[in-house]
Structure 1
Amino acid sequence: MKFRSNDAKGIACILLAALGFSLMTFFVKLSGDVPTIEKAFFRNAFAAVIAAVSLLRTEEKFKIHKGCGKYIFLRCLFGTTGLLCNFYAIDHLPLADSNMLNKLSPFFAIIASIPILKEKPTKVDITTTVIAFFGVVLIAHPSRDVSLIPTLAGVIGGAGAGIAYSYVRLLGQKKERTPIIVLCFSLFSCLVATPLMIADFKPLSPSQLACLIAAGISAALGQFSITSAYRFSPAKRISVFDNTQVVFSAILGLIFFGEIPVPLSIAGYIVIIGMSIFRWYYNLHHEEDGSRR
């Protein structure tokens, strides 16, 4: 089988991103009763610092490549909208429900890649992504007693993230640097969150501060990795692997919180992993067959 190095790098990055975001969720949960907007601020503050330090060590510093400014703004706009809506959903819905809604992002990424990147996903791309999403539904087994606005916020959060990832891919095609994309998004979201955080600020205990610092570092790992992933490979090839975040979260929950997955959750893991393996296997063989013709 012919192995595409960029696809492999993209998958490796998106798996690392899934681990980073899982650790972020873990530390956010450990932080306890902290206002949602404070958690959102810390999520990106450390990513901004890390990106800025990284850029200071380069020759171009903070220079944005010509023609990339408007796409960076759109990435920031949709990404921040997705972030805030996701945190609103987390604050007003059961965690499993909000997690499920956020996992709509890979599906939206493939849809958004059609007008933004002019990419045409195959039937296999669409089918495996939809089935993987239903695997997430099995894991979340959402309650029916939910209000409309938080649910819509969760859906918008997933859509915002998916559209933002498509712009990340477009910026990658234009050779924009990962730290620039991460820095702009992190600063933009922090600026939006700051007035809301000041209005509802709660002093943090040392343990809460430590948890949020760890959450910020984990989010930075996830943000850098997800940005790199969509620069390496199209969303239609790798976005399904983002669902492994649910698996990582389940493992952390089992080890540290004693959360034992129910049979429906286990079935969801099997669906997600099965679709990931099938899709990767299909793409490898399909592209290999095409190159022989």
Structure 2
Amino acid sequence: MIDNLSQKQKAVLFMLISAFGFALMNVFVKLSGDLPTVQKSFFRNFIAFLIAFFILLRSGGGNISSVSKSGWFWLFMRASLGTVGILSNFYSLDHLLVADASVLNKLSPFFVIILSAVFLGERVNRQQVAAIAVAFLGVLLIAKTSFATGISLPVMIAILGGFTAGAAYTCVRYLGTMGVNGSLIVCFFSGFSCLVLAPKMISGFVPMQIWQLVILILTGVSAAVGQYGITFAYKYAPGNQISIYDYSNIIFTAVLGTCFLGEIPDFLSIVGAVVMFGAFYINFRFNKKADKIKAVCHE
């Protein structure tokens, strides 16, 4: 069935799968209890590494020998930025409502648009700039702040997580255009993160109950689903065409957060999310119009 889909349809499907996987991960992180952020991040990456490594072995190694020096550089950049993004996201999940942290983290697709224009030469237009401006208005509403009171540390870290995730996904997009195997991208990132986090995790390890370990394993599994989804999504289509669908994560997270955590977003958070969805809609409508123009031109 997937083979019959267009490149863009495949990208949208994988983006929706990714959004649901990361929504589950967000909820599991919150459910795991009062554990250090580094410890949660390590287990999330370790389980994802095992899954990716197994798939990589089954596929014959993913043509590792064919990866160029430039490809290894971008793998390193993707892993470094992604590690910062995970730590930022998990910290914000521990200190904000899961829905609010998810919305702020989902500034990443807008950063993908900006960074893809700067580094990959993908065109940015006035409509996309307007969408970015509206999205940041939504951020301010969710942050419940003003220039007088300042933005809280968890909110700033959540925004940092959105930026580093956007930069990491830009690297994923570039690696996809280079033909680098998706399992290799996931495996390298997860393994790199584990190596970076291991010393701090070991020195500050907090004993866990069985139920916490099970939840962290589920966190890693759902993260692997999300990671594979977004890796293949950006492989099949440019960020400016499919990033809108990544925001389905906000809906998934809000619903799961309400059902399993009893977290109900307040009025300003809801208004902020609606404003951000307005930005997403601007971006979506422009892409749809652009696709129609291209179709007419090719007729």
TM-score (norm 1): 0.87
Q: Which moved more, 1:128-137 or 1:34-43?
A: 128-137
Matched-pair contact (CA < 8 Å) for 2:32–2:216: yes
Tell me what 2:60 maps to.
59
Matched-pair contact (CA < 8 Å) for 2:47–2:220: yes
Describe how 1:8-27 pairs up with structure 2 within 5 A: 8-27=9-28
Paired with 1:82 and 1:249, the residues of 2 have a C-alpha distance of 18
Paired with 1:245 and 1:76, the residues of 2 have a C-alpha distance of 22
Paired with 1:184 and 1:285, the residues of 2 have a C-alpha distance of 37
Residue 234 of structure 2 is aligned to residue 234 of structure 1 = no
Matched-pair contact (CA < 8 Å) for 1:10–1:228: yes
Tell me what 1:33 maps to.
34
Paired with 1:56 and 1:31, the residues of 2 have a C-alpha distance of 31
Matched-pair contact (CA < 8 Å) for 2:134–2:278: no
Out of 123, 126, 130, the position equivalent to 2:126 is 123
Residue 62 of structure 1 deviates from its aligned partner by: 6.1
Matched-pair contact (CA < 8 Å) for 1:244–1:272: no
The amino acid that maps onto 1:35 is P
Residue 265 of structure 1 deviates from its aligned partner by: 4.0
Deviations 1:100-145 (Å, cap 9, x if unpaired)?
Answer: 442221221111112221111222223234434544554x353577
Tell me what 2:205 maps to.
201
Paired with 1:187 and 1:51, the residues of 2 have a C-alpha distance of 10
Describe how 1:97-108 pairs up with structure 2 within 5 A: 98-108=101-111
Residue 89 of structure 1 deviates from its aligned partner by: 3.9
Paired with 2:174 and 2:287, the residues of 1 have a C-alpha distance of 21
Paired with 2:103 and 2:291, the residues of 1 have a C-alpha distance of 32
Matched-pair contact (CA < 8 Å) for 2:27–2:253: yes
Tell me what 2:114 maps to.
111
Matched-pair contact (CA < 8 Å) for 1:116–1:167: no
Unaligned runs of 5+ in 1: none
Inter-CA distance 117–87: structure 2 relative to 1 (3 Å threshold): same
Tell me what 2:263 maps to.
259
Tell me what 1:191 maps to.
195
Residue 164 of structure 1 deviates from its aligned partner by: 0.7
Size of the aligned set, in residue pairs, is 289
SS at match of 2:64: coil
Tell me what 1:42 maps to.
43
Inter-CA distance 272–92: structure 2 relative to 1 (3 Å threshold): closer
Out of 77, 81, 85, the position equivalent to 1:78 is 81
TM-score (norm 2): 0.86
